[in-house]
Amino acid sequence: MRSSDPASTFFTSLFYRFLSVTLASSIFAVTPAFARTNEAPSPLPVSGDVLIAGGISKGGLATNTAEFYSVNSRKFVATGSMTTARATHQSEVMTDTPESEINNDVGEISMIGGFSGSAKPARSSITFNIVTRDDFELYDPATGTFAVPTLPTLEPMSTPRAFFAALDMPADAPHIMGHFVAIAGLCNAADLDPCRTSDVIHPDDHVTGTSDPLVGRMMHTATLLQDETSILVTGGFGDLAGTALNTAEMLDTNTDVFSPIPNMNAARAGQTATILNDGTVLIAGGFDGTGAAQNSAEIFDPVTVTFTPLATPMHDSRAWHTATLLSDGTVLLAGGFNGSATMALTGAASAVTGTWGASSGSVLRSAEIYDPTLKTFTCVHGVITRTGHCRTAMKAARMEQTATALADGDVLIAGGFGALKALAPVRSAELFHAGKFLATGSMSTARAWHSAVVLP
C-alpha cells in the first residue's frame, strides 16, 4: 500500500474537522426551535378549580390578568388575560339551556361590567379615577382564553355598572335557568339615579331589562332565595357621598318587577348577605349611617318578609368582609375593615373620581363563625378577654378579598387590600380548613376588587 502524502493527509483532516464543527453548530442552532414546537401546552383548569380575574393590582391600576387556583396542586396557575382591564366586575357561570340556539357556551364564565382605570391606595385612603363598563366577555376553560362574544345577539347592559350586585340563576329554575341578573351599581353619571336599572343577561348573550329598582344603590347585596324566583336586595350606599341605606326590595323573576319590602333595622353598605339552610338570610356588618363599620347583624325571614336583629352581635365590627356558608350550615365571616371612613365621589359621563378615606380603625386578620342554631358568633382563634374582640386568625389582614367555597369543604381566601398603613393589594392566599387558616400558594398578581368563581 502506498503511504499517504503528508500534505494531503493534513488538508483532508482539516476538512473533516471543519465539516464536523459546521454540522454540530447547525444541529445546535436548530435545537431551540425544535424544542419550542414540542413545548408542553399551558395547563388548563378542571372542574372545581377557581378562576380569579382582574381587580386592582400594583400601582392601583385595574388589571386584565387572570389565573386559576388548582385544587389538586394547591397552587395558582396563570391563564389567558381578559380583553379588558376590570375591577369590581362580576363573574358568573354562563350555562347553555334548551332555549338557547348555541352550543358553545356550556361551562363558559362571563365577566361583566366593573370599571377600568385606577383606584390608587395610599395610607388609609383610596383615590379613584375610573370609567365604569357595560360590556362583558367569556372565559373558555377548554382553551384557557377570554374572548368578546361575536354572536349577532350580543348587547351591552342598559347602563355601565361597578360596585353592583349580580347572581346567576340555577339550572333547576326552569323559567330563567342559565341567565344571570345584574342590579344597579355605580355608573358614569353625576348621581346614582341614572344607574337605577337592572338587566337579565341571557345564554345567547342578549340582554333584557327588568323594571327599574326602586332605589339607586351601590355596594349592596343581592340574594337568591330558596324559592329560586325571588331576589332580595339590601342596603348599599344611596349616593356618591357614601350615605348608607336601610332600604330593601324584592325582584320577582317571574314578572321582572321590583317591589318594596320593610326596611332593615340598620343602614348598611359593604355588608354581607348569606342564605342559610333554613331559607332565612344572615345580613351582617357593613358601614352604618355615620360611615362606621358595625358589628350588628339581622335575619331576613322570607315567609314573614321581616328583618329581625340578632340579640348577640359579632365580636368585631366589619365592613367589606366576606361571608361564606360552610358545609355544616354555619357561616364563616372573615377580615374586613373595622373603623370609620368617608366617601366623596364625583361622577360625570366621562369618568368617576374621588376618594375613600379612613379616619380610624384597621384592616382585620380576625374571623368568626355564625351558628344559626344558637344564633351566636364564635371567634375562630378565641376571644381577647380584655376587649371581647377576636384574636387574629388569618395569615394576613384583608378587606375586599374573595372567599370561595370549594367542593372539599375548604374555603379559599385570596387577595384583598392589606394593612391600612399602605392599603396595597396583596398576592397571598389562604385556606380555611378544619377550623383554622392554612397558608397556600400566592397568586402571581396582587389583587383586590377582583372576581373568583368555581369552574363547573
Residues 340-379 have pLDDT tens digits of 999 999 999 999 999 999 999 999 999 999 999 999 999 9
Would you call 284 exposed, middle or buried from its count of C-beta atoms within 10 A (0-12, 13-18, 19+)? buried
Split at pLDDT 50, 70, 90, the class of 203 is confident
The number of C-alpha atoms within 13 Å of 201 and in the hemisphere containing its C-beta is 32
Please tell me whether residue 20 adopts helix, strand or coil conformation: helix
The predicted-structure confidence for 228-264, as pLDDT tens digits, reads as follows 899 999 999 999 999 999 999 999 998 999 999 999 9
**Three cell numbers, residue 336:** 374586613
| 392 within a domain of the structure (yes/no) | yes
**Three cell numbers, residue 43:** 395547563
- Give me the domain span that covers residue 88: 44-454
The pLDDT of 419-442, averaged and rounded, is: 97
The predicted-structure confidence for 75-107, as pLDDT tens digits, reads as follows 999 999 999 999 999 998 876 544 334 444 446
| 1 within a domain of the structure (yes/no) | no
**Three cell numbers, residue 324:** 361564606
Spatial contact of 343 and 379, defined as CB atoms under 8 Å apart: no
Nearest to 399 by CA among 446, 334, 451, 336: 336
Of 169-173, 235-239, 430-434, the poorest mean pLDDT is in 169-173
- The number of distinct structural domains making up the chain is 1
Spatial contact of 431 and 440, defined as CB atoms under 8 Å apart: yes
**What secondary structure letter does DSSP report for 193?**
G
pLDDT at 96: 55
Residue 174 confidence (pLDDT) above 80: no
pLDDT at 195: 98
Residue 37 confidence (pLDDT) above 50: no
CATH number, domain containing residue 282: 2.120.10.80
Q: How far apart are CA 59 and CA 322, in angstroms?
A: 24
Name the residue with higher pLDDT: 414 or 136: 414
CB-CB neighbours of 239 under 10 Å: 16
Spatial contact of 183 and 168, defined as CB atoms under 8 Å apart: no
| 25 within a domain of the structure (yes/no) | no
Spatial contact of 425 and 56, defined as CB atoms under 8 Å apart: yes
| 312 within a domain of the structure (yes/no) | yes
| 36 within a domain of the structure (yes/no) | no
Spatial contact of 311 and 274, defined as CB atoms under 8 Å apart: no
To the question of pTM greater than 0.85 for the whole model, the response is yes
Q: Quickly list DSSP for 23-75.
A: HHHHHHHHHHHHHHHTPPPPP---TT-EEEE--B-GGGBBB--EEEEETTTTE
The predicted-structure confidence for 324-341, as pLDDT tens digits, reads as follows 999 999 999 999 999 999
**What secondary structure letter does DSSP report for 195?**
G
Average pLDDT, the chain: 89
| 62 within a domain of the structure (yes/no) | yes
| 15 within a domain of the structure (yes/no) | no
Amino acid at 233: V
| 367 within a domain of the structure (yes/no) | yes
Nearest to 247 by CA among 230, 231, 229, 265: 265
Helix (H) or strand (E) holding 438: strand 436-440
The pLDDT of 176-189, averaged and rounded, is: 90
**Three cell numbers, residue 357:** 378615606
Q: How far is CA 244 from CA 39, 63, 82, 138, 291, in A?
A: 54, 29, 33, 33, 8
Phi-psi category of residue 163: left, alpha or beta, with phi > 0 → left and psi -120 to 50 → alpha: left
Of 8-17, 169-178, 321-330, 446-455, the poorest mean pLDDT is in 8-17
Amino acid at 356: W
Nearest to 272 by CA among 401, 451, 111: 401
Would you call 23 exposed, middle or buried from its count of C-beta atoms within 10 A (0-12, 13-18, 19+)? exposed
Spatial contact of 271 and 235, defined as CB atoms under 8 Å apart: yes
The number of C-alpha atoms within 13 Å of 24 and in the hemisphere containing its C-beta is 6
pLDDT at 12: 42
